[in-house]
Amino acid sequence: MPKPTKGPRLGGTPTHQRIILANLATQLFEHGRITTTETRAKRLQPLAERLISKAKRGDLHSRRIVMRTVTDPTVVHVLFTEIAPQVADRDGGCTRITKIGPRKGDNAPMAIIEIVTEAVTKKTRSKKAEPAKKAEEVVEVPVEAEVAEAQADDEVVEVAEGAADTDAAAEVADETAETAQTAEESDNK
């Protein structure tokens, strides 16, 4: 008897295990989500990911490769026409396993495996954005300082609108900002 490559077999023989996984994959693609044991879900996930990747290619050769595992033509059609376009923007991770607790009869750990159809949101992190966030953090300021700061901002806007020379407006803005800082420092003391 050949040794299993990834943990104990789900069935008695390698053929039985392949049949179990093929049936689970067929049911997953047909229903979108299935409830099974954690072990079976973990063994099904790589197979389902490979089949979905083949379906995203969409050519005849890929369809024939998928038909080796999923023998129901209607399920293969659903996989190629409905599921593959929904997950086309995903590079991987098209299935999700959620643990749901033990089964009532034999206390076997159960899980739900489902096809993820939500849109992908890519996180963009840049080194320039992180320091900017730190600079924008708001510091707790007493109410009097906020009022003085708001009045200073109003004066800057009025001076900037009324001044014809930008240098004069910049000087007035600097003076009002300095008075707001001194008012804030005196309130903090």
Q: What tens digit of pLDDT does each residue of 114-142 get?
A: 999 888 887 887 776 555 555 555 555 55
Residue 130: the pLDDT is 59
Residue 11: the pLDDT is 81
Residue 121: the pLDDT is 82
Identify whether residues 75 and 29 lie together within a single domain: yes
Identify whether residues 101 and 141 lie together within a single domain: no
Identify whether residues 34 and 110 lie together within a single domain: yes
Residues of the chain with pLDDT under 70: 1-7, 128-173, 176-177, 179-189
Q: How many CB atoms lie within 10 A of CB 182?
A: 11
Q: How many CB atoms lie within 10 A of CB 130?
A: 9
Give residue 85's domain range: 14-115
Identify whether residues 91 and 179 lie together within a single domain: no
> Where does a domain end: 67, 85, 115?
115
- Position 3 in a domain: no
Identify whether residues 149 and 57 lie together within a single domain: no
Residue 163: the pLDDT is 47
Residue 146: the pLDDT is 61
Instruction: State the virtual CA torsion across 15, 21, 26, 30 in degrees, nearest 10.
Output: 160
Residue 113: the pLDDT is 96
pTM comes to 0.62
Structure tokens at 160: 């900037």
Identify whether residues 23 and 95 lie together within a single domain: yes
- Position 53 in a domain: yes
Residue 124: the pLDDT is 83
Q: What is the CATH number of the domain that holds 103?
A: 3.90.1030.10
Identify whether residues 107 and 173 lie together within a single domain: no
Structure tokens at 88: 């086309």
- Position 93 in a domain: yes
What does the pLDDT look like over 69-95, one tens digit per residue?
999 999 999 999 999 999 999 888 999
Residue with tokens 């924008």: 136
> Where does a domain end: 50, 80, 115?
115
Measured distance CA(103)–CA(143) in Å, rounded: 58
Residue with tokens 């104990």: 8
> Where does a domain end: 84, 115, 146?
115
